[in-house]
Amino acid sequence: MNIAKNGNLKLAIQKKGRLTEKSIELLKLCGIDVDHYSERLVVPAENFPLEVLFLRDDDIPEYVQDGVADIGIVGENVVVSKNAKTTVVEKLGFGKCTLMMAAPDYVHLKTIQDIDGKVIATTYPRIVQDFLDKNNLKAKLIELSGSVEIAPALGVADIICDIVSTGNTLMMNKLKKSFPIFDSQAVLISSASNELKKEKAKILQDLQSRIRSVLLARRSKYLMMNVPIGSLEKVKKAIPSLSSPTVVPLADQHYVAVHAVIPSNYLWKIADSLKELGATGILLLPIENLIP
Ligand code: PRT
Ligand code: ZN
Q: What is the pLDDT of residues 151-210, one digit of tens each?
A: 999 999 999 999 999 999 999 999 999 999 999 999 999 999 888 999 999 999 999 999
Tell me, in angstroms, the distance from the centre of ligand 1 to residue 142's CA: 19
Predicted confidence at residue 6, as pLDDT, reads 82
Return the pLDDT at 240: 81
Give the Å distance between the CA of 228 and the centre of ligand 2: 57
Kindly give the distance from the C-alpha atom of residue 146 to the centroid of ligand 2, in angstroms, as a whole number: 9
Say whether pLDDT at 1 is over 70.
no
Cβ < 6 A, ligand 1 pocket: 14, 17-19, 56-58, 75, 77-78, 95, 97, 162-169, 184
Measured CA to CA in angstroms, residue 134 lies from 44, 117, 128, 181, 250 at distances of 44, 15, 10, 11, 62
**Secondary structure class of 60 (helix, strand, coil):** helix
Look over the chain and give the mean of its residue pLDDT values, rounded to a whole number.
94
Residue 135 or 1, more confident? 135
pLDDT band for 3, please (50, 70, 90 cuts).
low
Q: What is the DSSP letter of 244?
A: P
Q: What pLDDT does residue 32 have? A: 97
Ligand 1 atom index nearest CA of 55: 4
Average pLDDT for 124-136: 97
57 CA to centre of ligand 2 in angstroms: 5
Q: Which residue from 225, 226, 279 is spatially nearest to 252, judged by alpha carbons?
A: 226
What phi-psi label fits residue 155: left (phi over 0), alpha (psi between -120 and 50 degrees) or beta? Answer: left
* Atom 17 of ligand 1, nearest CA residue: 75
Task: Please name which ligand lies nearest the alpha carbon of 81.
Answer: 1
Q: How far apart are CA 50 and CA 200, in angstroms?
A: 9
CA distance 96 to 77: 10
Tell me the pLDDT tens digit for each residue of 9-46. Answer: 999 999 999 999 999 999 999 999 998 777 889 999 99
Q: Name which residue sits closest to atom 22 of ligand 1, judged by CA.
A: 95
pLDDT for res 38: 77
Percent of the chain whose pLDDT exceeds 90: 88
Ligand 1, atom 8, residue with closest C-alpha: 57
pLDDT over threshold 70, residue 255 = yes
pLDDT tier for residue 4 given thresholds of 50, 70 and 90 = low
pLDDT band at 288 (very low <50, low <70, confident <90, very high): confident
